[in-house]
Amino acid sequence: SDPEPKQSQTARPGLTAQDLLPVKRDFAFVAAASMPADKFVRAARGASKDLITDVSVFDVFTGSSLGEGQRSIALEVTLQPANKTLTDEDIDEVSKAVVAAVTKATGATLRG
């Protein structure tokens, strides 16, 4: 006798990472123009290995407004929650960690 047709395809298991929407945050740092962009990316990625799934440089800007030998590097950081939707506090915490990690690694300052 055939078993009942499985209905598990329609039953939703607990939340998986794919169900939780990623959160994107942008940061702009000012640092010495000689500081390689990948150093920013690596530092930002390391700030929260659990949550940060992607870091990309989306803008590099040099201009007299920044000061001699300085440039601005803008990063987009993607947070992918694993088991719960991130609260504003969670996002703030990771944001602070990103800023701290990048400024420590590169000597940059957060651009206001």
Q: What are the tens digits of pLDDT across the range 77-100? A: 999 988 888 999 999 999 999 999
Residue 5, pLDDT above cutoff 60: no
Quick one: tokens of 37?
A: 């962009």
How confident is the model at residue 61, as a pLDDT? 93
Indicate if the alpha-carbon torsion angle 19, 82, 109, 64 is positive or negative. negative
Cα 79 to the center of its chain, rounded Å? 5
Q: Which amino acid is at 13?
A: P
Residue 66, pLDDT above cutoff 80: yes
pLDDT band (50, 70, 90) for residue 47:
very high
Is residue 79 exposed (0-12), middle (13-18) or buried (19+ Cβ within 10 Å)?
buried
Query: Backbone dihedral region of 36: left (phi > 0), alpha (psi from -120 to 50 degrees) or beta?
Result: beta
How confident is the model at residue 21, as a pLDDT? 87
Q: What is the dihedral of CA 33, 101, 28, 58, to 10 degrees?
A: 80
Residue 8, pLDDT above cutoff 60: no
Residue 4, pLDDT above cutoff 70: no
Cα 44 to the center of its chain, rounded Å? 7
Residue 6, pLDDT above cutoff 80: no
